[in-house]
Amino acid sequence: MFHEEKKEGSPRFGKLHFPVGLWINSPKKHFAKLGRRWPSVGSIKSTSSDTASRSNETVELRQPTKNKNNRHKRLSNIFHRGTILMTGSISAGSAAGRWASEKKLSDIIDSVPEDLVELSSQKNLPGILKIFGDDISSGTNYKSVLATPRSMARELVKEALERYAVADSDIETFVLCDVVGRFVGHEGEWKMEYLRIVGDHERPLVLQEMWKPKVGFSRRFEIRRKQEVENIPPAEDIETAEEKIKEIGDKQPENQQDKNLGTTLGIEEVASDLQPLMLWMANSMELLNFVQRKILDMEKEWESEGTSQDALLSSDLEACEESMALLDEVIMYTFQQCVYYLTKTLYAALPALLESNPFTDPSSLSDVGELNNMPEGTRGTLAIYQATLDLTRECELHPDLVSQTFGYLFFFSNASLFNTLMEKGNGEPFYQWSKAVQIRTNLDLVLDWLQGIGLGDIASEFFKKLSTTVNLLCIPKTSLLKLSWSSLRSEYPALSSAQLNHLLRNYHLGVGRSHPAAWDPPEEEKDEITNTDIFESFTDHPPLILPCDNFRMQISQPMSNDAFHKQLCQLRRFVWDLEQKSLPANQRSLYRVENSQ
């Protein structure tokens, strides 16, 4: 559904090159719903009360269908009011940038006359819909049919085809299409830019009210042969999330190693920009759980009754499966992008953990519980972790996704710091006891602080490689000289032979002092060490595992929150007004908010 960043840009390590964010390569290969459970963040400390209801039931997860060729036809059975315009597109070109975001009608200001925006209808002819059929009859531009906000696409197709004198037996071979295009050239030739099949149960007049083409584009409804449209290569409409991603990306330099390219954004601004993405992720996760439960309940009911599914119910079920597939992709994409921009921000703060001396900081190391009391070298990194935690709480992200978000951040932090440490050994003397103690102190301060907010278990798991390396370098020089290669390999198994050899070869023993022969690896390992990379790969990140329980909302239960109920009633009133405004005055009904449930 969404555009994936090219894998060729993924950082590779010959020498150390800091990545500009955590790359999540081949998301489909790493995307799993079941399997290893992440450490829980259910114990994360919070200063705010959580009144949201949670369900402890285990939900059996249904695999969504992989057949997406006809998604545009089936989703319409679920989303009757035009939200499908964001998905299931069929296009002759790129779909991105053709549809405006959903807005209230009063907020939509067109810079061109309405007659040039909605080519299938006019204000002075309410209830008349023009359906263009150039492919049916080259000599006829369009046919007019009577339509109300409750008229469905299949009804209008049948009526229009009767006016085009198409035989009843051929009606099923045609579909109604929602087409966006513009007039080009001196003669005003119509050029299609975007085409989408309108589902049989969608209501064209409601679509017109809920969605408008962007400035410079016009819309019209066309009848086309189904086979012809389905053979057009699909193009995914990704504007809703993609535009926000581009907006965030434009604020950050792509390569932050070049200081001339721009200034790194502060974590406060990054968190503010990422809030919509995390809200989409949180809401999509709740909706996915709701749809999964509904499908399972429907199937169990059919099985218990022993009844066969009729065509409409089967269509609804398929539409639910396709919506599950779309929600899967939304969750993956928003998770990927949130992690990407958070790690770009971490990149600028992490080096201070290796370079700063906590013992020269005026802050007291005995009173570092509060972020403001932490030494300056650790404060920047911890501020990013704190802002991320605050953001997940504000968006009410599922606890399992909170765990995995921090898992990715800690994975990136560990790999980045470890690779930097490996690179520093090639320069001036860096591997020595005094420097290692400073790094160990900074790392302990970070881990202790994370333990205090309930993330200690996750951090300990992902910082294991860096912690092991620093522990080795913290061994006093006199003690380290007494250890052999075999004993070091057995005591520090987290380090590969190549990594251990690199640390020992570059350990600073003093001017003129050579390394002991006991540090030399066996002959049979030397070839392997020479040909093995010492850097950690950023592509070995853990898979994203969707949660299956402990959801915050029970969408099918009665609402107990009065404020939420009031907002829902306002939304219903807005949709009701859209339908009623197109009806004659004597056909309009009164809307009673108090009767809405």
8-state DSSP, 454: T
pTM: 0.59
Confidence at 365, pLDDT banded by 50, 70, 90: low
Residues 6+ apart with CB under 8 A from 539: 10, 23, 25
The pLDDT assigned to 351 comes to 95
Strand residues in 251-368 grouped as ranges (E):
none
CB 386 within 8 A of CB 266: no
Confidence at 366, pLDDT banded by 50, 70, 90: low
Task: Name the more confident of 295 and 469.
Answer: 469
The pLDDT assigned to 53 comes to 36
CB 197 within 8 A of CB 73: yes
The pLDDT assigned to 394 comes to 95
Instruction: Tell me the average pLDDT of the chain.
Output: 74
Confidence at 310, pLDDT banded by 50, 70, 90: low
- Which domains can be identified in the chain, with CATH numbers? 16-42+242-545 (no CATH), 80-233 (3.10.20.90), 562-595 (no CATH)
Distance CA 457, CA 49 (A): 23
Locate 382 and state its tokens: 């911890």
Locate 211 and state its tokens: 């969605």
The pLDDT assigned to 503 comes to 95
Confidence at 243, pLDDT banded by 50, 70, 90: low
Mean pLDDT of 81-88: 32
Answer whether residue 540 shows pLDDT above 90: no
Confidence at 37, pLDDT banded by 50, 70, 90: very low
Task: Name the more confident of 105 and 410.
Answer: 410
Residues 6+ apart with CB under 8 A from 450: 385, 456, 458, 459
Confidence at 588, pLDDT banded by 50, 70, 90: low
